[in-house]
């Protein structure tokens, strides 16, 4: 019987750093698979390797040892230009600090990744407007980042990630700079994207945030300590009912 290849397959991934004669194992033999449309939380204490893992998954960094297959392709075998294309077209990265261009409008920020595709400006703008509408910001296109709230800035960053229609959204502490109500709004948006078929991996320190995901992978000292399916979420008080 053939089984559909997982979107992500990691085999024995290690990442070692040499620091003054000492070797730090940020990742120490990770085996993990992520299926299409999975919704995974990476949890674990500070220094456990979560960001290192996200950087490898996002092809921003390469492992010291081990294999990473994305969409069935060995990432180590990709040329620089294939890696750049993969980062641009397959991966949507969302950061704690939003990482928006401060002098560019929301719409220009969202359009930016499409510039590298050789897409016509009118088509870029159309796609970016569509992504801004998906995150509920169709009436904030011309605002600069400092004219937006923290939650709105993160929505712009999410729209920027979405407009490439990536295979996977990687979010490293996306709610770390937001108050709890705004954080819940961002997670509700992620829940919707997941329901629409998006694959998501979210790094978080907060159990409330991890509980939105279907699956929790706990890292400790660069290893997978546990990998469990989360209990289905009950509708929370401030959310719309009917979501069981």
Ligand X SMILES: Nc1ncnc2c1ncn2[C@@H]1O[C@H](COP(=O)(O)OP(=O)(O)OP(=O)(O)O)[C@@H](O)[C@H]1O
What would the two tokens of residue 188 be?
A: 């509700």
**Coil, strand or helix: which one is 201?**
strand
Long-range interactions of 222-230: CB distance < 8 A, separation 24+: 222/14, 222/15, 222/25, 222/26, 222/27, 222/28, 222/29, 222/30, 222/48, 222/49, 222/52, 223/28, 223/29, 223/30, 224/30, 224/31, 224/32, 225/44, 227/32, 230/41
**Coil, strand or helix: which one is 235?**
coil
Q: Residue 24: name its binding partner from Mg ion, ligand X, none (Cβ under 5 to 8 Å by kind).
A: ligand X
Q: Could you say which residues in the range 16-45 bind ligand X, by CB under 6 A?
A: 17, 19, 24, 26, 44
216 makes contact with ligand X (CB under 6 A): no
Cβ proximity to ligand X, 46 vs 241, nearer residue: 46
Q: Residue 48: name its binding partner from Mg ion, ligand X, none (Cβ under 5 to 8 Å by kind).
A: ligand X
Given a contact cutoff of 8 angstroms between Cβ atoms, the answer to whether 157 and 142 are in contact is: no
10 Å Cβ neighbour count for 161? 25
Among 39, 49, 145, 216, binds ligand X (CB under 6 A): 49
Task: Tell me which residue has its CB nearest to Mg ion.
Answer: 51
Q: CA Rg, the chain, in Å? A: 18
Cβ proximity to Mg ion, 38 vs 173, nearer residue: 173
52 makes contact with ligand X (CB under 6 A): yes
Among 46, 81, 139, 146, binds ligand X (CB under 6 A): 46
Cβ proximity to ligand X, 48 vs 199, nearer residue: 48
Among 7, 8, 32, 51, binds ligand X (CB under 6 A): 51
State how far the Cα of 129 lies from the Cα of 111, in Å rounded to an integer: 9
CB of 95 to ligand X, least distance (A): 11
Q: Could you say which residues in the range 74-133 bind ligand X, by CB under 6 A?
A: none
CB of 211 to ligand X, least distance (A): 18
Cβ proximity to ligand X, 40 vs 132, nearer residue: 40
Given a contact cutoff of 8 angstroms between Cβ atoms, the answer to whether 169 and 94 are in contact is: yes
Among 7, 8, 32, 50, binds ligand X (CB under 6 A): 50
Cβ proximity to Mg ion, 50 vs 140, nearer residue: 50
State how far the Cα of 6 lies from the Cα of 116, in Å rounded to an integer: 28
Residues lying near Mg ion in the complex (CB under 5 A) are found at 50-51
CB of 13 to ligand X, least distance (A): 12
Q: Please enumerate in sequence order all residues whose Cβ is within 8 A of that of 3, keeping only pairs 6 or more positions apart, or say none.
A: none
What would the two tokens of residue 131 be?
A: 């992504």
CB of 47 to Mg ion, least distance (A): 8
Q: Which residues bind ligand X (CB under 6 A)?
A: 17, 19, 24, 26, 44, 46-52
């Amino acid at each position: 019987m053939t089984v559909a290849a997982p979107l992500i397959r990691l085999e024995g991934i290690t990442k070692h750093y040499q620091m003054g004669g000492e070797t730090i194992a940020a990742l120490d033999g990770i085996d993990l698979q992520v299926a299409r449309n999975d919704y995974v939380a990476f949890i674990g204490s500070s220094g456990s390797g979560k960001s290192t893992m996200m950087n490898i998954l996002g092809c921003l960094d390469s492992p010291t040892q081990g294999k990473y297959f994305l969409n069935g392709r060995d990432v180590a075998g990709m040329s620089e230009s294939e890696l750049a294309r993969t980062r641009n077209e397959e991966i949507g990265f969302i950061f704690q600090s939003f990482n928006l261009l401060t002098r560019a409008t929301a719409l220009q920020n969202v359009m930016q990744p499409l510039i590298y595709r050789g897409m016509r400006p009118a088509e870029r703008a159309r796609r970016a407007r569509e992504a801004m509408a998906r995150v509920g910001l169709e009436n904030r296109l011309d605002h600069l980042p400092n004219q937006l709230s923290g939650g709105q800035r993160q929505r712009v960053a999410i729209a920027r990630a979405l407009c490439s229609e990536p295979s996977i959204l990687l979010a490293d502490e996306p709610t770390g700079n937001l108050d709890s109500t705004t954080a819940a709004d961002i997670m509700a948006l992620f829940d919707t994207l997941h329901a629409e078929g998006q694959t998501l991996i979210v790094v978080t320190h907060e159990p409330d945030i991890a509980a939105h995901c279907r699956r929790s992978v706990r890292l400790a000292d660069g290893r997978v300590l546990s990998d469990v399916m989360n209990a289905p979420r009950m509708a929370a008080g401030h959310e719309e009912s009917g979501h069981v």
